[in-house]
Amino acid sequence: MPGLVDALMIVAVVVLVAVRQFRPGRIDTQRRLWLLPAVLAVIALREPHMVDAHHPAASVALLVTELITGLGIGAGWAWTTRIWVEPNGAVWSRSTKASGVVWVVGIGLRVGLFALGAALGIHQDSSALLLALAATLLVRSGMLARRAQSLHPAAVPGTAYGDRMPPPAWKERV
C-alpha cells in the first residue's frame, strides 16, 4: 500500500507543479523555497528499502544517476523559464514550451532508468523518484530565485530576463 500512496503522491505533485508553472506566477525570493523539496525528501528517506539488498552497488549507481538526472532537469527547467519584472517591481515567471520539452525529456530519461533497473533485476522503490523530484524542485526554485534577484526591478520595468536589449551606442572616434 505505501508504494501506491507514494505513486499517487508523485503524480499529484507533478501535476500540481506542472499546472502551476505554465501559468504566470509571482516569484517571492523571501519565501521558503526548500519547504516542498524537504517534505518530499523526508517522505522518500523514510523508506527503508531505497537500496536493493541483492544489488547494492548497481542500486546506488542507479539512485545517483536518478539524482543527477533530477538536478539536470531542475537546472534546464529553470533556464527555460521566462521571468520578467512588472512596473510595480514584482518579479514573475512562466514556463515556456522549451520547459515542456525539458519535462518530456526528463520523464523519458526516468522511464529509461527504471527500465534499465528492471532489466538488471534491481528492485526499485518510488522513494528514489521522490528524492529526485525533490532535487529537481530545489534546484529550479533556487535558480529562479537567483535569476529574479539578478534583475533590478527599478532599473528597467517591463523587460524580461533574456529579452534582446538594443545594441550599445557607438562612440565616435576622435
Is residue 92 within 8 A of residue 83, CB to CB? The reply is yes
Give pLDDT, residue 74.
94
- Residue 80: name the closest of 95, 63, 65 by CA: 95
Give residue-wise pLDDT tens across range 82-114.
998 888 888 888 989 999 899 889 989 988 998
Percent residues over pLDDT 70 in the chain: 83
CA distance 74 to 81: 11
Other beta carbons within 10 angstroms of residue 165's beta carbon come to 8
Phi, psi of 81 (to 5 degrees): -90, 135
- CA pair distance 91, 153, nearest whole angstrom: 7
DSSP assignment of 44-79 equals HHT-TTSS-SSSHHHHHHHHHHHHHHHHHHHHHHHH
- Which is higher by pLDDT, 117 or 53? 117
CB count in 10 Å sphere of residue 67: 16
> Which is nearest to 75 in space by CA: 53, 106, 52, 47?
106
Which amino acid, residue 76?
Answer: G
pLDDT score recorded for residue 54? 84
39-83 pLDDT per residue, tens = 888 888 887 777 777 888 888 888 899 999 999 999 999 999 999
The answer to whether the beta carbons of residues 149 and 83 sit under 8 Å apart is no
Q: What is the pTM of this model?
A: 0.74
